[in-house]
Amino acid sequence: MKTVTVTTSSTLKMLRANPESAKLPLFDRKGWKRLPFGTFAESVNDRVEPTNAAEEIYVGLDDLDSGNLHIRRWGKGSDVIGTKLRFRKGDVIFGRRRAYQRKLAVAEFDGICSAHAMVVRAKPDLVLPEFLPFLMMSDRFMKRAVEISVGSLSPTINWTTLKLVARLRRHLGNAKFTALGERLEKIKERHEQGFLSSLEFLKQILELAKEVVAAEKETDPEEERDRAKEALTELFTEARSSNTHFIVERVVADIDDIVKKVRFPDWQHTTQGERLVQKELRRTLLKYKLHTDQELFDRAYAYIKQYY
Higher pLDDT, 45 or 101: 101
pLDDT at 4 (0 to 100): 43
Does residue 16 form part of some domain?
A: no
* Confidence (pLDDT) at 259: 58
- Does residue 200 share a domain with residue 128? no
Mean of the pLDDT values across residues 56-85? 93
Comparing 71-80, 154-163, 175-184, the range with the smallest average pLDDT is: 154-163
Computed over every residue of the chain, the mean pLDDT equals 81
Q: How many domains does the chain contain in total?
A: 2
What is the arithmetic mean of pLDDT over 148-160? 72
Q: Establish if 15 belongs to a structural domain.
A: no
* Domain, as residue range, for 121: 34-157
Q: Which of 111, 127, 157 is the last residue in one of the domains? A: 157
Kindly report the CATH number assigned to the domain that includes residue 118: 3.90.220.20
- 261 domain-assigned: yes
Do the domain assignments include residue 114?
A: yes
- Whether residue 297 is found in the same domain as residue 178: yes
Q: Is residue 245 part of a domain?
A: yes
Determine, yes or no, domain membership for 4.
Answer: no
Binned at pLDDT 50, 70 and 90, residue 7 comes out as: very low
For residues 170 and 150, state if they share a domain: no
**Looking at 109, 125, 157, which one is the last position of a domain?**
157
**Together in a domain, 146 and 187:** no
Of 75 and 3, the one with more pLDDT: 75
**Can you give the pLDDT at residue 227?**
43
Tell me the whole-structure pTM to 2 decimals.
Answer: 0.53
Examine residue 22 and state whether it is found in any structural domain, yes or no: no
pLDDT-derived band at 182, boundaries 50, 70, 90: confident
Q: Are residues 112 and 237 in the same domain?
A: no
> In this predicted structure, what is the pLDDT of residue 173?
65
3-state secondary structure the chain: CCCCCCCCHHHHHHHCCCHHHHHCCCCCHHHCCCCCHHHHEEECCCEECHHHCCCCEEECHHHCCECCCCCCCCEEHHHCCCCEEEECCCCEEEECECHHHCEEEECCCCEEECCCEEEEEECCCCCCCCCHHHHHHCHHHHHHHHHCCECCCCCECCHHHHCCCHHHHCCCCCHHHHHHHHHHHHHHHHHHCCCCCHHHHHHHHHHHHHHHHHHHHHHCCHHHHHHCCCHHHHHHHHHCCCCCCHHHHHHHHHHHHHHHHHCCCCHHHCHHHHHHHHHHHHHHHHHCCCCCCHHHHHHHHHHHHHHC
pLDDT at position 262 is: 60
- Whether residue 299 sits in one domain with residue 179: yes
Least confident of 92-106, 108-122, 258-272: 258-272
**pLDDT tens digit sequence for 20-31:** 555 556 666 677
Are 189 and 127 members of one domain?
no
Domain boundary pick from 134, 157, 180? 157
pLDDT beyond 50 at 15: no
- What would the pLDDT profile of 219-257 be if each residue is shown by its tens digit? 766 545 444 457 888 888 777 877 889 999 999 999 987
